[in-house]
Amino acid sequence: MNIFSHIGPRCEECEDGYFGDPEGLRGPIRPCQKCNCNNNVDPNAIGNCDTTTGECLRCIDHTDGFNCERCSQGFFGDALSVKRPGDPPSCQPCQCYPLGTNIDDQTQLPICNGLTGDCSCKHHVDGRDCDVCEDGYFDITSDDVSLEIIVTFIYCLYTLLVKSFEFNENKYQQ
């Protein structure tokens, strides 16, 4: 048992940066262990992890998860990669085209794969960044406007107008 990881008058709590339940006050006895936030917390900050569960509470650089082990919604990369001082964050913003991408209802951020950055496209939208329409579709700004539907509508309208014209022409010729 590491006595330097305990605090309290009877060493009954884990100090900041450690978690456990050394006296079994909240269940079975669990010795204090160093929190594992995968180097995705500010080492100088206080309260980086829950001292009972070990859950990381202050993930930085757009990381998320119990142990800051993945990129936050709207970001992609390898949250577990080794970083040196001065390196850019491992999690970078997804480059999704907003009009073609599904948006997370809670965060209002684009939905993308946290590892690859591939965006979650709306119906009939394609491309890694959801920036092109599938074949046979156009106008990425609208919802499911199909070229086939428009062509069919125009053909029906044309047919109706031609038949109306023919009817009127026959009517006047008699």
Give the Cα separation of 14 and 74 in Å (integer): 34
Instruction: Please indicate, yes or no, if residue 83 is contained in any of the structural domains.
Output: no
Instruction: Please indicate, yes or no, if residue 28 is contained in any of the structural domains.
Output: yes
Give the Cα separation of 155 and 151 in Å (integer): 6
Domain of residue 17, residue span = 1-68
Question: Per the structure, how many domains does the chain have?
Answer: 1
Instruction: Output the domain CATH number for residue 14.
Output: 2.10.25.10
A 10 A CB-CB count for 77 gives: 22
Whether residue 140 contacts residue 123, with contact meaning beta carbons closer than 8 Å, is answered with no
pTM over 0.75: no
| 74-107 pLDDT per residue, tens | 999 999 998 888 888 899 999 999 999 999 999 8
Query: Would you place residue 156 in the very low, low, confident or very high pLDDT band (cuts 50, 70, 90)?
Result: low
